[in-house]
Amino acid sequence: MQRKTVRSGLVGAGFAAEFHYESIQRVHSADVEVVGVYDSDADRAAAFATERGLEVAESLEALIDACDVVHACVPPVAHEPVAVAALERDTFVIVEKPFTGYFGDGSDDFDGQTFSKEAMLEGALASIQRMLDAEQASQARICYAENFVYAPAIQKEREIIEKSGAQILWMNGEEGHSGSHAPAYGTWKFSGGGSLMGKSCHPLSAILYFKRVEGRSRLGEPIRPKAVSARTHRLTASPHYDDKGHLRSDYKDGEDFGHIHIVFDDDMVADVFASEILLGGVRNRLEVAANNHRTICNINPNTAMQTYNEREEYFKDIYVVEKTGTKQGWSNPAPDEDYFNGYPNEAEAFYRTVAYGEEPEGSSSLGADTIAVIYSAYLSDERGGAEVPVQTL
């Protein structure tokens, strides 16, 4: 196979763009030329580009036209327009999670807590359909950047499922920490929701992925979700909440705790918990209970390394793990946090898709199913936890 050169660009110059850029540096299967960056905030784009020796594109269209693939490292509200613009120019697009969503009716006083969740679901499904239609009409593809799918623990479990012929009976996934650092997070018109959107999409996508893997291996076709029930809560917004200052609590209209129960086409089940109320660092965990084995995937924290530190100041210049409040006492420093989170493997896989036409495990269909489940869950919550069918596209 002849080694190819891929021209790449970054749309957005914030936190997501930083770790996408770092992951690009670890792609081995192709020679990647980072053409430049575009951000609607010109000063932020300039600062990002200067630090990395990149060019700043004059417009989104100019960047797309100069690239074979662009990374959509923008808030969720911009995922659809960036993806469609790239696909219309036959340029591949790597869409950061969540895939898309519903971001309000355009009114200044839009409130995601009180707005009709049925209308949200319809809007989210329409956005998904527009993205899938654009992909269908394009010579390029969408790569859904859900890093959980490419985390080493998840890929090892994928091998176990495939080779052992396992039937998955139940899965339990969780993501939680002390609150997002993104200013727009918790404002529905920018983020498309709260914890169900921003946190559950990680373990949820991995859960949906495992049932696809099982279905392909055992039945010749993916097993997909058919119904959900859910509840959400705004715990730090409660008048009974005693704020000690350790958790972020300024969310405008997004929830900070949620639970989704999923029923699949084969009647097997899964549960997902998502929250902003956990101190002590990020908790990313997925458990699989199958008919022939049980697996626990501890993505964060993992125990590859454990360290005891007597005083905070000893580790003042040492990165330990994301979202930890203190470096004193016992901790689990990640020797390579990006690797355990799946980011380099994700980038490698997507550039093999762009350069050599390999099918991405993080597909547009997986991203679409994730959003369909989340907004069906919001509708279930509005109905007091009643079961809601999932419409997959």
Range of the domain at 85: 5-145
Q: What is the 3-state secondary structure (H, E, C) of 39-73?
A: CCCHHHHHHHHHHHCCEECCCHHHHHHCCCEEEEC
Q: What is the mean pLDDT of the chain?
A: 96
Q: Is residue 342 part of a domain?
A: no
Chain segment 219-258, per-residue pLDDT in tens: 999 999 999 999 999 999 999 999 999 999 999 999 999 9
pLDDT of residue 204: 98
- Among candidates 142, 155, 147, 199, which has minimal Cα distance to 20? 147
Q: Are residues 132 and 155 in the same domain?
A: no
- What CATH code is carried by the domain that includes residue 78? 3.40.50.720
Q: Are residues 79 and 111 in the same domain?
A: yes
Q: Are residues 185 and 294 in the same domain?
A: yes
- What CATH code is carried by the domain that includes residue 236? 3.30.360.10
Angstrom CA distances, 258 to 155, 204, 332, 340, stand at 26, 12, 26, 25
CB atoms within 10 A of CB 42: 12
pLDDT of residue 224: 98
Asked whether the predicted pLDDT for residue 168 surpasses 80, the reply is yes
Q: Is residue 331 part of a domain?
A: yes
Task: Count the domains in the chain.
Answer: 2
pLDDT of residue 61: 98
pLDDT of residue 180: 86
Chain segment 50-64, per-residue pLDDT in tens: 999 999 999 999 999
Q: Is residue 234 part of a domain?
A: yes
pLDDT band at 203 (very low <50, low <70, confident <90, very high): very high
What is the C-alpha separation between 188 and 111, in angstroms, rounded?
A: 7
Q: Are residues 101 and 112 in the same domain?
A: yes
Q: Are residues 136 and 159 in the same domain?
A: no
Q: Is residue 377 part of a domain?
A: yes
Q: Is residue 343 part of a domain?
A: no
Q: How far is CA 32 from the centre of its chain?
A: 23
pLDDT of residue 303: 85
Q: Are residues 215 and 183 in the same domain?
A: yes
Q: Are residues 177 and 317 in the same domain?
A: yes
Q: Are residues 17 and 133 in the same domain?
A: yes
Asked whether the predicted pLDDT for residue 141 surpasses 90, the reply is yes
Q: Are residues 110 and 180 in the same domain?
A: no
Asked whether the predicted pLDDT for residue 323 surpasses 90, the reply is no
